């Protein structure tokens, strides 16, 4: 018997979840992005911890202590971490969550473009690391001065080249066909497990979209509301632009699994169609109108967040009967 996964009562019918999961499985591909990253902190040796503990009258084995190898606030190092941030942002923005660590789902038709963009970001990372390596001796010497007797030259590699890297792959999550020949019962069990994974991915995607819509609408509504002094609050163009970017991404990645969510996103999109940030700054009545309309969307989003179950996972028996 396959393991039964407990579930809460679904807000949508099981058939809808299965249909959406099947569609997701046919249209998407798993993608994994992995980083190799030089560790900038190192634990103190037992002798060093004992020496540090002695000044506090403590025992070294009960003390956790470490040292920072290089200054991570240096502009060259911050440039490297900024590229990593852009890589993660692009990966997550182009994909949907999947209930396996390190995996997300990307549209199969976007794989070629994803590979091109990641290759470009990989080159950008390599360039930033090369620039950091030019400052490496400077950073190491500064660490020597700051760490004093805790400095140990053996903690530092000769070069940072190759110690910051990124890789990506498109692993299969499907059940291997040979398993059907070897053990048909186990093969069927694994098929149900994989199908359930995609059903859960549907719900994870809905949760992610709903959470992002809630955050963006709430932020913009707050910015458009008057302050305590009666004056309008200051807001950046990104408060509007981020929502408009969300509408585009939702249109591209959404699999139409939740009519209520689709309706709320469309309602918010219509409210902001043709709206420019400067227009909201210059026109108080327009600003108030948009704020009032978005407050209505926010109330509906809040209602969905309260009513939505944490997860809806189908039991194998439900899948077979749906």
How deeply is 70 buried, as exposed, middle or buried, from its count of CB atoms within 10 A (0-12, 13-18, 19+)?
Answer: buried
Structure tokens that stand for 199 in this block: 């059903």
The predicted-structure confidence for 152-190, as pLDDT tens digits, reads as follows: 999 999 999 999 999 999 999 999 999 999 999 999 999
Check if the beta carbon of residue 206 is closer than 8 Å to that of residue 186.
no
Q: Rounded distance, CA 202 to CA 19, Å?
A: 10
Structure confidence at residue 92 as a pLDDT band (50, 70, 90): very high
Q: What pLDDT is stored for residue 47 in this prediction?
A: 82
Sign of the dihedral through C-alpha 294, 300, 306, 309: negative
Q: What pLDDT is stored for residue 44 in this prediction?
A: 83
- Residue 294 or 12, more confident: 294
Domain ranges of the chain: 14-169, 182-321
Q: Which residues of 150-180 are buried (b: 16+ CB within 10 A; e: fewer)?
A: bbeeeebeeebeeebebebeeeeeebeeeee
Is the confidence at residue 9, as pLDDT, over 90? no
Q: What pLDDT is stored for residue 18 in this prediction?
A: 82
- 127 alpha carbon, distance to own chain's centre: 25
Check if the beta carbon of residue 306 is closer than 8 Å to that of residue 280.
no
The predicted-structure confidence for 221-239, as pLDDT tens digits, reads as follows: 998 887 666 677 888 899 9
Least confident of 63-72, 87-96, 266-275: 63-72
Highest average pLDDT, of 111-125, 241-255, 279-293, comes from 111-125
**In the chain, what percentage of residues exceed pLDDT 90?**
67
Is the confidence at residue 321, as pLDDT, over 50? no
Task: Report which of 260, 225, 266, 224 is spatially closest to residue 247, judged by C-alpha positions.
Answer: 266
**In the chain, what percentage of residues exceed pLDDT 70?**
89
Mean pLDDT of 125-146: 96
Segment 106-114 long-range contacts (CB within 8 Å, at least 24 positions apart)? 106/28, 106/29, 106/30, 106/31, 107/27, 107/28, 107/29, 107/252, 107/253, 108/27, 108/28, 108/29, 111/29, 111/31, 111/170, 114/31, 114/168
Pairing of strands 28-36, 66-68: unpaired
- Residue 281 or 14, more confident: 281
pTM: 0.83
Q: What pLDDT is stored for residue 129 in this prediction?
A: 97
Check if the beta carbon of residue 291 is closer than 8 Å to that of residue 221.
yes
């Amino acid at each position: 018997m396959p393991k039964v996964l407990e579930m809460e009562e679904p807000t949508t019918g099981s058939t809808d979840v299965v249909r959406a999961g099947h569609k997701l499985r046919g249209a998407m591909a798993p993608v994994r992005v992995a980083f190799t990253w030089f560790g900038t902190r190192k634990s103190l040796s037992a002798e060093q911890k004992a020496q540090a503990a002695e000044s506090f009258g403590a025992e070294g084995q009960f003390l956790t202590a470490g040292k920072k190898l290089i200054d991570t606030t240096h502009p060259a190092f911050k440039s490297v971490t900024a590229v990593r941030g852009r890589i993660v942002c692009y990966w997550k923005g182009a994909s949907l969550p999947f209930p396996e660590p390190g995996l997300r789902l990307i549209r199969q038709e976007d794989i070629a473009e994803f590979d091109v963009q990641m290759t470009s970001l990989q080159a950008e990372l390599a360039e930033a690391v090369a620039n950091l390596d030019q400052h490496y001796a400077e950073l190491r010497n500064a660490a020597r001065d700051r760490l004093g007797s805790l400095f140990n030259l053996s903690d530092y590699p000769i070069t940072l080249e190759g110690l910051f890297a990124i890789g990506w792959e498109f692993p299969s999550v499907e059940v291997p066909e040979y398993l059907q020949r070897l053990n048909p019962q186990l093969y069927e069990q694994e098929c149900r497990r994989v199908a359930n994974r995609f059903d859960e991915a549907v719900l994870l995607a809905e949760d992610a979209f709903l959470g992002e819509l809630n955050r963006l609408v709430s932020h913009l509504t707050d910015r458009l509301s008057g302050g305590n002094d009666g004056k309008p609050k200051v807001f950046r163009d990104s408060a509007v632009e981020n929502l408009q970017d969300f509408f585009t991404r939702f249109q591209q990645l959404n699999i139409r699994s939740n009519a209520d969510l689709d309706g709320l996103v469309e309602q918010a999109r219509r409210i902001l169609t043709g709206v420019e940030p400067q227009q909201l700054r210059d026109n108080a009545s327009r600003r108030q109108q948009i704020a009032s309309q978005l407050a209505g969307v926010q109330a509906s989003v809040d209602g969905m967040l309260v009513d939505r179950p944490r997860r809806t996972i189908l039991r194998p028996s439900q899948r077979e009967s749906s």
